[in-house]
Amino acid sequence: MASGMMSEFSYAQDHASNIKRSDFPDDFIFGVGSSAYQIEGGWRAHGKGLSICDSFSLRYPGLSLFYKTGGANGCRSVENYSRMKEDVQLLKKMGVNSYRFSISWSRILPGGKVSMGKSLEGIDHYNKLIDELLANGIEPFVTLFHWDTPNALEEEYMGFLSSKIVDDFVNYADICFWEFGDRVKNWVTLNEPYTFAYGGYVQGIYAPGRGGKNQDGDPQVEPYIVAYNLLNSHAAAYRLYQENYKSFQKGKVGITLNCNYFQPYRGSSHQQDIQAVDHAYDFKFGWFMEPLTKGNWPENMQRLAIIPTSDYPNGRVLPKFSIDQQKTLIASYDFLGINYYYASFAQYQDPSDEIPLGYSTDGHFKKSGSPDKNDPGKTYEEARDDTYRLNYIKHHLEAIKLARRNKVNVMGYFIWSFMDSFEWSFGYNIRFGMIYVDYMNDLQRYPKRSAVWFRKFLSENKKVSVKSNVTQVNDASNKTEQEIENEPEVL
């Protein structure tokens, strides 16, 4: 990164406490996010089918990479399914103009596919949620897939390990576009496909629980097959919307990827670690971004993921995109969501007997970092005083302000997450929410310090328009205003 840009980021960190709503255009998107399995509960309500998240958490209670979850699962979670109207009022009080949530595939299609019938009750629930949001001035951003494949499809053909999933996903997306697209104008096909492929098929700590120690699966080939089917599902759903719905619904369809910022562990003069940074980006972000822009896997992945192993002495084969698939994939997004949590160091990694063969060793890198270390033993008063989260939000807002000043087309910011909820392998032992949920007292909700600050921040004066903000940037970029407007948006 250029030294001038680094100094600008240092400036941004120093001035984060001065961030104001008026630093952003009037139509900038400010929201919070959630996902169906994490907050809804109601796991069997009104005929909902099982998802692989239901099956996995019930089959492996307490499985965790970091904490003992105590057998926790999302079957009840924080009961957003039955408390929907109450929670929409919380969103309104927070002052957000947008809300990102996901639809439970198996709540719409209990059997996973159209031929098994759709749930009118499930469709009715999301219709009510969308209507309630709009009635309160909140724009819905809807994610179609947040890792909860219908269990019926997992049992029938192993879910995303089979190319059969593409047609079933497109049929599910078709129902959603038809039922909700008259009001939903922003769709996200997949949330963090990297996390789903890595956590579910390499580590085995997320559903469907493959690839980990003493688990079924093959981390040498399965994650690449899953990524291939995820990408083809996304692209097919995107093209369906473009061909059948965009002309009259006027919506946008994007995808949300996640990425860390990586630095070489042993410094900028250590060539192997510099190479490890390059590999880390390719095997995390590039794994999905390059097919969306170039129609093929990153070159490093094409070279390293086929290397022979003891189980595959003649080498492995990466799934290959056909010419038609490449055409469907390239530029198959109207906006790009980036989920960013923390920075990491990347260090070159030689093959080791202690590390299972496959994806974990293919990239020849390892990473380290620190998430929000919330103490599960905190009292009610301590948990609501989330100074760490508040500072985190301020610094990210300042960084977005800087990015826009440098003509990056960032159009919105969703904070993860709306409220405390089931946090996958962490169970309920950590809290990411801006709303505190009292798990011991009827799941009552209270605003944390960050929520109160965010409400105050959003109440301040606004800028006039996106266009006026874009024209005020400095000369750090040679892009014209027209070029910026034609770029895919970044959320």
For the chain, domain boundaries: 29-459
Helix (H, G, I), strand (E, B) or coil at 60: coil
User: Is residue 223 within 8 Å of residue 157, measured between CB atoms?
Assistant: no
Helix (H) or strand (E) holding 187, with range, is strand 186-191
Q: Which CATH number fits domain 29-459: 3.40.50.300, 3.30.1490.20, 3.20.20.80, 3.90.580.10?
A: 3.20.20.80
Cα(413)–Cα(404) distance, integer angstroms:
12
Strands 435-438, 444-447: pairing kind: antiparallel
Give the span between the Cα atoms of 96 and 83, in whole angstroms: 19
What is the residue-level pLDDT of the chain in tens, covering all 491 positions?
444 444 454 545 556 679 999 999 999 999 999 999 999 999 999 999 999 999 999 887 755 444 445 578 889 999 999 999 999 999 999 999 999 999 999 999 999 999 999 999 999 999 999 999 999 999 999 999 999 999 999 999 999 999 999 999 999 999 999 999 999 999 999 999 999 999 999 999 999 999 998 899 999 999 999 999 999 999 999 999 999 999 999 999 999 999 999 999 999 999 999 999 999 999 999 999 999 999 999 999 999 999 999 999 999 999 999 999 999 999 999 999 999 988 999 999 876 655 566 777 787 555 443 334 446 667 778 878 999 999 999 999 999 999 999 999 999 999 999 999 999 888 888 889 999 999 989 999 999 999 999 999 999 876 544 333 332 223 333 333 334 344 556 67
Distances (CA, A) of 94 to 398, 431, 455: 20, 18, 5
The string of DSSP letters for 264-279 reads: ETT-TT-HHHHHHHHH
d(CA 139, CA 142): 10
Dihedral over Cα of 268, 271, 275, 276: its sign: negative
**Residues 176, 161, 292, 108, Cα dihedral to 10°:** 10
Q: What is the DSSP letter of 207?
A: T
14: Cα within 13 Å, side-chain hemisphere: 6
DSSP assignment letter at 410: B
